[in-house]
């Protein structure tokens, strides 16, 4: 892949003229990629076919293809391969690793998300007379975020991170309620119990949780994402970011379902917040 390394590897099999080409390229790859074959030939004091033969020897299709490879090689520094934070990582190393592992997790989450179920969830949410978001611990901040988002839509929405309040909310629920329960593991006892109470009152329970977990079994609809949880630090990191992304998706689906007029309403909300801010 790295064409410059390859040049130095096959150095011995080069002819005298080809060596000249190699030298010019190694001396200034940046110049080489912006040169025509004629310019490069002149710089190396060889003929154009020699440059072309040089390129082919590197197993490229020809000069333009060679330039492409060279461009990729000099594009940028090496990315971190190991995603796990190491005890003697410096700030730059662990920062990069965390960003990368989050992005990798989001990529996995995207691939594993069932779009049909997302659409179904949006169906439920748009038809709901009342929406509640529940979460505990780390997931409670996701629930708060969801509440904040849906609150902008000017629909009745609640968020509870208190098991008693959650329970009361479920006891009073009915078939026009949608309860969204967020739990990465799906094994938190109280949340499973609460889901069952809601179900017994004909409320719709959407679980943002792991497939096949007790909470998943207690939900009407499960939105699950495969996220490799980083056990390094013994705390949830990537999972809740994937959950937030899912909340964004649900909110977006909700908005799109409601149409254009609704979006203008969102804009109005945003504009209305201006007074609480300093002017730019």
d(CA 141, CA 119): 24
Q: Which is nearer to DNA, 65 or 161 (CB)?
A: 65
Binding residues among 51-110 for DNA as defined by CB under 7 A: 52-53, 55, 61-65, 67
Q: Given strand 221-223, what is the order of strands in its sheet?
A: 157-160, 130-135, 177-182, 204-208, 221-223
Our finding on whether 27 is near a second copy (CB under 8 A) is no
**Per-residue binder mask for a second copy (CB under 8 A), 219-258, x = binder:** --------------xxx-x--xx--xx--xx-xxx-xx--
Q: Give which of a second copy, DNA, none residue 130 binds (C-beta under 5 to 8 Å, depending on kind).
A: none
Burial class (CB in 10 A: 0-12, 13-18, 19+), 75: exposed
Q: Give which of DNA, a second copy, none residue 48 binds (C-beta under 5 to 8 Å, depending on kind).
A: DNA
Our finding on whether 269 is near a second copy (CB under 8 A) is yes
Our finding on whether 188 is near a second copy (CB under 8 A) is yes
Q: Which two tokens stand for residue 1?
A: 């892949």
Q: Which of 18, 32, 158, 184 binds DNA (CB under 7 A)?
A: 18
d(CA 228, CA 101): 9
Cα–Cα–Cα angle for 88, 80, 98, rounded to 5 degrees: 65
Our finding on whether 50 is near DNA (CB under 7 A) is yes
d(CA 264, CA 267): 5
Our finding on whether 168 is near a second copy (CB under 8 A) is no
> Least CB distance from residue 43 to a second copy, whole Å?
18
> Least CB distance from residue 258 to DNA, whole Å?
27
- Collapse the DSSP code of 42 into the 3-class scheme (helix H, G, I; strand E, B; otherwise coil) and give the result: helix
């Amino acid at each position: 892949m790295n064409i410059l390394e390859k040049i130095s590897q096959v150095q011995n099999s080069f002819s005298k003229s080809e060596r000249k080409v190699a030298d010019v390229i190694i001396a200034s790859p940046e110049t080489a990629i912006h040169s025509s074959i004629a310019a490069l030939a002149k710089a190396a004091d060889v003929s154009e076919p020699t440059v072309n033969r040089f390129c082919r020897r590197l197993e490229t299709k020809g000069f333009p293809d060679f330039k492409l490879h060279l461009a990729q090689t000099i594009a940028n520094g090496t990315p971190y391969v190991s995603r796990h934070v190491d005890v003697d990582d410096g700030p730059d190393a662990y920062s990069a690793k965390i960003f990368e592992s989050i992005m990798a997790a989001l990529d996995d989450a995207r691939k594993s998300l069932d779009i049909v179920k997302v659409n179904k969830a949006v169906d439920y949410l748009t038809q709901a007379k009342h929406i509640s978001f529940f979460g505990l611990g780390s997931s409670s901040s996701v629930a708060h975020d969801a509440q904040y988002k849906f609150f902008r839509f000017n629909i009745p929405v609640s968020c509870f991170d208190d098991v008693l309040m959650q329970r009361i909310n479920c006891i009073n629920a009915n078939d026009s309620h949608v309860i969204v329960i967020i739990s990465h593991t799906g094994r938190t006892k109280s949340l499973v119990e609460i889901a069952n109470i809601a179900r017994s009152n004909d409320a719709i329970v959407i679980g943002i949780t792991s497939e096949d977990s007790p909470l998943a079994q207690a939900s009407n609809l499960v939105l699950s994402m495969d996220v490799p949880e980083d056990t390094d630090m013994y705390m949830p990191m990537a999972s809740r970011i994937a959950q937030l992304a899912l909340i964004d998706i649900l909110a977006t689906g909700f908005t799109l379902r409601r149409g254009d007029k609704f979006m203008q309403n969102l804009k109005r909300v945003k504009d209305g917040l201006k007074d609480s801010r300093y002017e730019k």
